[in-house]
Chains A and B, each alone.
Chain A
Amino acid sequence: MSIVLELFLEFALLSFVAFGGATALLPEMHRVVVDNHHWLDDTTFTHLYAIAQAAPGPNVLVVTLIGWKIAGLSGALVATLAMCLPMSIVIYLLIDRWESFAGKRWQKAISIGVAPLAVGLIFSGATLIAQAAGFGWAAWALVAVTVAVNLRTKLHPLWLIAAGAVLGLLGLI
């Protein structure tokens, strides 16, 4: 099986459990791409995540970068398509009937039930990236400062990213 087709199938499968968007998929993408297939190493995976953070656009673009690094331009396009297309089709077909099941008890139960799972996924993604990058004490200190500033002030995250870039360039992280 060609690597591009494999990439499509892996990411299309993931799109069905992407509750919380592409961000929530970080740990699973790491498992599939780094641990299982060895398409990328830990360092590259971390770098791609950092690039996606620093670029404008929807969070899903980290998938584009992973696809690029694995199989070039076709990999980038195929990975992005695999992540977006399946649910786009589902939503295209379902939206007209949404009103008829919105607010039903089962629908609310799924919405409420999925939230704590998404939190766990995003938390896991953060720990896995920290692990993959092999953070030392300085990096963890920057993580802690970022959490505090982001939760307590309204400072735009872009400033924090810029600060991280500068501290990194200075060789401090």
Chain B
Amino acid sequence: MPPETAPPPDLKALFVGFSSVGLSGFGGVLPFARRMLVDERRWMTAEEFNAQFGLCQFLPGPNVINLAVVVGKRYQGLLGAIVAPVGLLAGPLVIVLLLALLYDHYGSLPLAQSLLRGIAAVGVGLLFAMAWRMGMAIREKPFFLPFTALIVAAIAVLRWPMPIVMVAGLVFSGAVAWWRLGRK
């Protein structure tokens, strides 16, 4: 059965579609982007999504913004590649700036400080959980988790500049990955 896809979206549809994605998620909106593109609006099939998302994941930067650029370009060229990420960011940006205004006015109140402290503690827990989950998903842990430890030592303990640490880390970690790939 051939998968059904909808007609290509115009600029307005791109803006509205990605706006809905941007506003629907807390702590990352990627799963919502997939749902909107593949399941709800059917702009692309699951296979197309996976193929295009590959590069978004491969490159650094916010994956979901990269994805918006790719989808926007695919349907509306350069304008689409601008409109889609702007749609994704516009709504959340306004909300977050309103929160920033509130923070400017009330952030120094003890009550606000305690509130943010509680949220920060949960946020730190969510980060540890995310790191744990990503770490567990790594294959051949004895070869690769030592790099995780080295990064923590260099970044969290020694506070070395990240660009240099990442380039060096990627050279060695990538070399190990290259070697392991060759053995299969």
Q: Which of B65, B127, B159, B170 has the most CB of A within 10 A?
A: B127
Whether A114 touches B162, Cβ cut-off 8 Å, given contacts A76-B100, A87-B66, is: no
Write the B113-142 contact mask toward A (1 if CB under 8 angstroms, else 0): 111111111111111111111110111000
Q: Which residue of B lies closest to A140 (CB)?
A: B121
B7 to chain A, nearest CB (A): 21
B interface, over-half SS? helix
Any B CB within 8 A of the CB of A40: no
Q: Which A residues are in CB contact (< 8 Å) with B73?
A: 92, 95
Given contacts A58-B88, A69-B100, A112-B181, contact A31 B123 (CB under 8 A): no
Contact across chains for A120 and B149 when beta carbons are under 8 A apart: yes
Q: Are B123 and A161 in contact (CB under 8 A)?
A: yes
Q: Identify which of B54, B175, B180 contacts A98 (C-beta below 8 A).
A: B54
Partner of B138, one of A48, A52, A119: A119
Q: Point out the residues of chain B lying under 8 angstroms from A19, CB to CB.
A: 60, 166
Between A and B, how many residue pairs show CB distances below 8 Å? 357
Whether B36 sits at the interface, judged by CB under 8 Å, is no
Chain B residues, CB < 8 A from A156 = 26
- In whole angstroms, how far apart are the Cα atoms of A143 and B27 in the complex? 16
Residues of A within 8 A of B81 (CB): 88, 92
User: Given A116-B145, A124-B151, A158-B26, do A147 and B119 touch, yes or no (CB 8 Å)?
Assistant: no
B69 at the interface (CB under 8 A from A): yes
Q: Which chain B residues border A144 with CB–CB below 8 Å? A: 125
Contact digits for A7-31, partner B, Cβ 8 Å, 1 yes 0 no: 0000001111111011101111001
**Which residues of chain B have C-beta atoms less than 8 A from A119's C-beta?**
131, 134-135, 138, 148, 151
Dominant SS at the A interface?
helix
Query: In the assembled complex, how far is the CB of residue B155 from the closest CB belonging to chain A, in whole angstroms?
Result: 4
- Residue of A whose beta carbon sits closest to that of B21: A58
A4 within 8 Å of B (CB atoms)? no
Q: Within residues 52 to 110 of chain B, which ones have a CB less than 8 A from any CB in chain A?
A: 52, 54-66, 69-70, 73-74, 78, 81, 85, 88-89, 91-93, 95-97, 99-100, 103, 107
CA separation between A57 and B107, bound complex, in Å? 21
Among B85, B150, B174, max chain A CB count under 10 A is at B174
Of A47, A59, A83, A121, which contacts B27 at CB under 8 A?
A: A59
Residues of A within 8 A of B (CB): 13-19, 21-23, 25-28, 31, 35, 43, 46-61, 64-65, 68-69, 73, 76, 80, 83-84, 86-88, 90-92, 94-95, 98-99, 102, 105-130, 133, 135, 139-140, 142-147, 150-151, 156-158, 160-161, 163-173
A-B residue pairs, 10 tightest by C-beta = A168-B118, A57-B92, A146-B125, A120-B151, A87-B61, A164-B122, A113-B174, A124-B156, A126-B127, A113-B173
